[in-house]
Structure 1
Amino acid sequence: MQYEEPRRLSMDDAAEIFENGNPYDIAESLISASLYLPDRGWVEQWVIHFTSHSSPDVRRASALALGHLARLHGAVSPQAVAAVSSLRADVGLHGAANDALEDVEIFTRGN
Structure 2
Amino acid sequence: MDYEEIDALSQEEAKRNLSNKDSRIVVITLLSIALHEPDRDWTEKQCLEHLKHSNDRIKYAAILSIAHIARIDRQFNKCVIPFFREYIKNPELSGRVQDAIDDICMFTDTEESIFR
- The normalised TM-score by structure 1 is 0.90
Unaligned runs of 5+ in 1: none
Check 1:84–1:16 CA distance in 2 against 1; reply closer, same or farther (3 A cut): farther
> Which residue type is aligned with residue 17 of structure 1?
N
Structure of higher RCO (CA pairs closer than 8 Å, 6+ residues apart): 1
> Which residue type is aligned with residue 15 of structure 2?
A
Unaligned runs of 5+ in 2: 111-116
Greater than 4 Å deviation, 4+ residue runs? none
Alpha-carbon RMSD: 1.5
Q: Equivalences for 1:8-47 in 2 at 5 Å?
A: 8-47=8-47
How far does residue 21 in structure 1 lie from its aligned partner after superposition? Answer: 4.0
Count of residues in Structure 1 that have an aligned counterpart in Structure 2: 110
- The normalised TM-score by structure 2 is 0.87
How far does residue 83 in structure 1 lie from its aligned partner after superposition? Answer: 2.8
How far does residue 42 in structure 1 lie from its aligned partner after superposition? Answer: 0.8
% identity of equivalent residues: 27
Q: 1: CA distance between counterparts of 2:54 and 2:77?
A: 23
